Amino acid sequence: MPAPLYQIPLRRIDGSEASLGDHAGEVLLIVNVASQCGLTPQYDGLEALYRRYRGRGLAVLGFPANDFAGQEPGTNEEIASFCRSAYGVDFPMFAKIAVTGADRHPLYAALAGEEPISWNFEKFLIARDGSVAARFSPKTTPEDPAVIAAVERELAKT
């Protein structure tokens, strides 16, 4: 039976339909991102992580959200353009969603459960079977040894 996360409908940043099922069998790093946040430079580390491990089955997935201090005010088109031009982002980006509050997207309801998302750039590592393997705070950078170790541990599993 497919993992419940894989069945949640999503939209890519270009508006096309998607789901995490498109990435079934891969290790996923899901991140709520924002373009005008003090943590925005983490895009560099996320892209580097993606380039380093995508050949081994890692997908970094960015989900823009404007939930914290209005730090992602742009349209999907503006966000995509910014990410490409400022940070060379090549990892999959999705349409802007809410990660907190009454309008919270079902993906984030499933990922976080009752524990709230604390800020932009919170990270969820999803195992190949679709379960949450690890969660990292916004201040934990993609280059952090704990993130690297968790990614490598999950990639080593078959």
The residues annotated with a catalytic role in the active site are 37
Distances (CA, A) of 156 to 20, 57, 128, 147, 149: 20, 10, 10, 14, 11
Distance CA 40, CA 70 (A): 13
Distances (CA, A) of 123 to 56, 61, 105: 19, 10, 16
Structure tokens at 15: 């508006």
Report strand pairing: 58-64 vs 27-33. Answer: parallel
Instruction: Transcribe 67-95 into DSSP letters.
Output: -STT---S-HHHHHHHHHHHH---S-BB-
Q: Which residues contact 148 (CB under 8 A, 6 or more apart)?
A: 49
